[in-house]
Amino acid sequence: MAVKTESRSVTIATADGSCDAFVAHPAGDGPHPAVLFYMDAIGLRPVLEDMARELASHGYYVLVPNLFYRSGPAPVVEVTDLSTPERRAEFFGKVMPLVHALTPDLALRDAESYLGFLAAQDQVGSGPVGLTGYCMGGVLSLRTAARFPDRVAAAASFHGGHLATEAPDSPHRSAGDVRAELYFGHASEDDSMNAEHISRLETALDAAGVTYRSEVYPDTVHGFTMSDTAAYSEAGLARHWEALLDLFARTLKQA
């Protein structure tokens, strides 16, 4: 049953500065299981804050950091109308350099700070955390689960791209380090995560003995959970919530 929530902006000290972030959690005292929510490439914005509040209403303390904080507070790139190809091309022309600048080493160094922030909160239980990530955040969800296996019990990726490439540092190559239960919700039309990539990911997970579910959402494109974009699928978002809440309910135990 959904509960009343509270939310606010916070600042997290990292090795490279101060990261602005958004927090949502059930009203009143905890403790509650913690969730680190990794944004998509569009950035920290109202739609993600609404999603964090929704997740918090089911009993979780949710942290959504601005992953691009090194370039300034959110919105680092002002989000305008993304409904036309021309506007999308202009926007992503500004955003993609930020995505590429966030190397795996930097992202995982930040992840340690985010996990440390969560552990220090009075309303957060002492048990392991959950992760959920969207688009580029899906990649970071898998990487973080592999880097911090003792601290992550569950990790989800929705329309995550480039999870299983031929690159030496492709996320799927770290499957052997994962102890968390994983969930992948793939778009049916996504050049960054097509059927070949999905097969490569699942082969690596199977070989590593990881517990996971990997599902393709029909009639969806990359970004389908985001209601402020043309990629949005109402059915896809609803199915995402069902899968995510099921994963966390089974794996995140209140301390």
pLDDT score for 80: 77
Query: Which residues form the catalytic set?
Result: 135, 190, 222
Question: With 70 as the cut, is the pLDDT of residue 48 above it?
Answer: yes
Q: How many CA atoms lie within 13 A of 26 on its CB side?
A: 19
142/200 Cα distance (integer angstroms) = 15
> Which residues are paired to 215 by β-bridges?
185
Q: Please provide the average confidence, as pLDDT, over all residues in the chain.
A: 95
pLDDT score for 248: 98
pLDDT score for 54: 98
pLDDT score for 89: 85
Question: With 80 as the cut, is the pLDDT of residue 52 above it?
Answer: yes
pLDDT score for 254: 52
Sort strands 181-189 and 212-221 into parallel, antiparallel or unpaired. Answer: parallel
Q: Give me the percent of the chain exceeding a pLDDT of 70.
A: 98
pLDDT score for 255: 41
pLDDT score for 85: 77
193 touches 163 (CB < 8 A)? yes
Classify domain 5-251 by CATH number. 3.40.50.1820
Give strand ranges (E) for 57-136: 61-65, 129-134
Q: What is the CA 11 to chain-centroid distance, rounded? A: 19
Sort strands 34-38 and 17-26 into parallel, antiparallel or unpaired. Answer: unpaired
**Cβ-Cβ contacts under 8 Å for 67 (sequence gap 6 or more):** 38, 39, 43, 44, 102, 107, 110, 136, 137, 140
Q: For residue 162, with 0-12 CB atoms within 10 Å meaning exposed, 13-18 middle and 19 or more buried, which class applies?
A: middle
Tokens of 107: 């992202």
Number of residues in the chain: 255
Instruction: Write down the pTM of the prediction.
Output: 0.97
Comparing 67 with 28, the larger pLDDT belongs to 67
pLDDT (tens digit per residue) in 3-32? 999 999 999 999 999 999 999 999 988 899
pLDDT (tens digit per residue) in 159-211? 999 999 999 999 999 999 999 999 999 999 999 999 999 999 999 999 999 99
> Which residues are paired to 157 by β-bridges?
133, 184
pLDDT score for 88: 82
Helix 104-119 / helix 136-147 crossing angle, nearest 10 deg: 70
Dihedrals phi, psi of 213, to nearest 5 degrees:
-125, 140
Q: Where are the domains of the chain?
A: 5-251
pLDDT score for 81: 76
